[in-house]
Amino acid sequence: MKVSEFKDHLTQNLIPFWNRLKDDEHGGFYSYVDGAGTPDKQYDKGVILHSRILWFYSSAYQLLQDEQLLHMADHAYQFLVDFCIDSQYGGVYWSVHYDGSVADDTKHTYNQAFAIYALSAYYRASGRKEALNHAYELYRLIEERCSDEDGYLEAFHRDFSIADNDKLSENGVMAYRTMNTLLHILEAYTELYLADHFYKVGDSIRNILIRFKSKIYNPDKKIFNVFFDEYYNSLIDLESFGHDIEASWLIDRACQAINDAGYQKEMQKIIKGLAESACKNGMDWSLSAINNECEKNIVDTKKVWWVQAEAVTGFFNIYQKYPDGEKYLKNAEDVWRFIQEYVIDKNTGEWIENIEDVTSIDTDQALVHHWKCPYHNGRMCIEMIKRLSALCIRGGESNAETGK
């Protein structure tokens, strides 16, 4: 793998694609693009999508120091604070109409977390203290209104009365708690802590890490259980390969952020166990790609775009972290080659969402919708550029291709 491959894809494909979706008339970004690359300019605008766009441009600016990226982040930020924050009850909405009027006023903890993630990154990029203040308002809201004595809750009506968690429940269950929401609260708090190093946020991170170990991790299978009832009883026999490999490096990042040797030691078996299980159970060696999930011993072999992205970063992180991690480098390299050959849309530079059959790829899938964003693939590029560049500096320019 070369630094230049990831940088070229980021700067020549992903950034130009998303630049074209800037809505100069109503603010924000167009939130639906069909398989041909044509946007629906009157499609409802997802707040999760816009938070992820704000995070993407803010983080890309921090890496590349291109002022145009900061201008795009400014544009995303203005839309988020002008239209997506509820001035009456607090928190961010689920979605707004194309003109910024409220479409779905559901308040979901997952959504609040991504707004924190985005606002923290934007503060780090821009230095605008008001963005950090908004992030802290949402942090306090999650801690005070979206949690109970046993952890975090999921879905709420606009006034924060409890609602059914249909938006983050899948596979025929209605979950009271989810691994996914907890993971992205951790991710958001890590970004907030890196922005300001407030000790209470660090304490929240520690509490989440312990909850992952004591309630979410399945030590027998070396996986995270996914959907739970109120008391953390698992609701379904499900292994999510993408979430596990993503969690392995996000938990590692959180441990490094708080710089706590005790917690780093505490989480090592989980970090490596998740990666080992994702490799052993999730990899499709015939294509050198990673499958979607396994439910009740039945593997869903669909190759989902974001799962491939997280596999590259997650496997490379394990390679960097452990002396015996050489095989994980090959996994990362193989999945990246699969992405280049099959997942990147040759016409637009964005990624095709699902690959069911590599001999007959459906190119008529939407390239952008509320869940399809520049977060996973953009983050993979940003992470790999930083990681490979750091290894090159330590090991010399001759090591630029593999990181070895």
The answer to whether residues 156 and 214 belong to one domain is no
The answer to whether residues 159 and 223 belong to one domain is no
Q: CATH number of the domain that 79 lies in?
A: 1.50.10.10
The answer to whether residues 140 and 255 belong to one domain is no
The answer to whether residues 203 and 280 belong to one domain is yes
> Once rounded to an integer, what is the mean pLDDT over residues 383-388?
98
The answer to whether residues 212 and 142 belong to one domain is no
Inside any domain, residue 121: yes
> Once rounded to an integer, what is the mean pLDDT over residues 86-104?
98
> Once rounded to an integer, what is the mean pLDDT over residues 329-335?
97
> Once rounded to an integer, what is the mean pLDDT over residues 316-334?
93
Inside any domain, residue 174: no
For the stretch 346-379, pLDDT in tens is: 999 999 999 999 999 999 999 999 999 999 999 9
For the stretch 10-47, pLDDT in tens is: 999 999 999 999 999 999 999 999 999 999 999 999 99
Any residues with CB less than 8 A from the CB of 189 and at least 6 apart, and which?
A: 116, 139, 201, 204, 205, 208, 254
Inside any domain, residue 14: no
The answer to whether residues 129 and 215 belong to one domain is no
- The overall average pLDDT reported for the chain is 96
The answer to whether residues 133 and 216 belong to one domain is no
How confident is residue 391, by pLDDT bands cut at 50, 70 and 90?
Answer: confident
> Once rounded to an integer, what is the mean pLDDT over residues 122-140?
98
User: How many angstroms separate the CA atoms of 74 and 85, rounded?
Assistant: 16
* Count of structural domains within the chain: 2
pLDDT beyond 50 at 399? no
The answer to whether residues 275 and 330 belong to one domain is yes
User: How many angstroms separate the CA atoms of 292 and 302, rounded?
Assistant: 6
Evaluate if pTM is beyond 0.85: yes
- Per the structure, the complete domain to which residue 237 belongs is given by 198-346
For the stretch 139-155, pLDDT in tens is: 999 999 999 999 999 99
> Once rounded to an integer, what is the mean pLDDT over residues 190-201?
98
**What is the model's pLDDT at position 393?**
72
The answer to whether residues 332 and 225 belong to one domain is yes
How confident is residue 325, by pLDDT bands cut at 50, 70 and 90?
Answer: confident
Inside any domain, residue 141: yes
The answer to whether residues 125 and 50 belong to one domain is yes
pLDDT beyond 50 at 397? no
pLDDT beyond 90 at 285? yes
Q: Which two tokens stand for residue 109?
A: 């903890």
Top pLDDT among 378 and 260 is at 378
How confident is residue 68, by pLDDT bands cut at 50, 70 and 90?
Answer: very high
How confident is residue 247, by pLDDT bands cut at 50, 70 and 90?
Answer: very high
The answer to whether residues 245 and 131 belong to one domain is no
Inside any domain, residue 337: yes
> Once rounded to an integer, what is the mean pLDDT over residues 105-124?
98
**What is the model's pLDDT at position 401?**
58
Supply φ then ψ for residue 102, to 5 degrees: -70, 130
Inside any domain, residue 139: yes
> Once rounded to an integer, what is the mean pLDDT over residues 276-283?
98
**What is the model's pLDDT at position 394?**
60
pLDDT beyond 80 at 336? yes
Which of 79, 81, 109 minimizes the C-alpha distance to 94?
Answer: 109
**What is the model's pLDDT at position 402?**
52
**What is the model's pLDDT at position 404?**
42
How confident is residue 238, by pLDDT bands cut at 50, 70 and 90?
Answer: very high
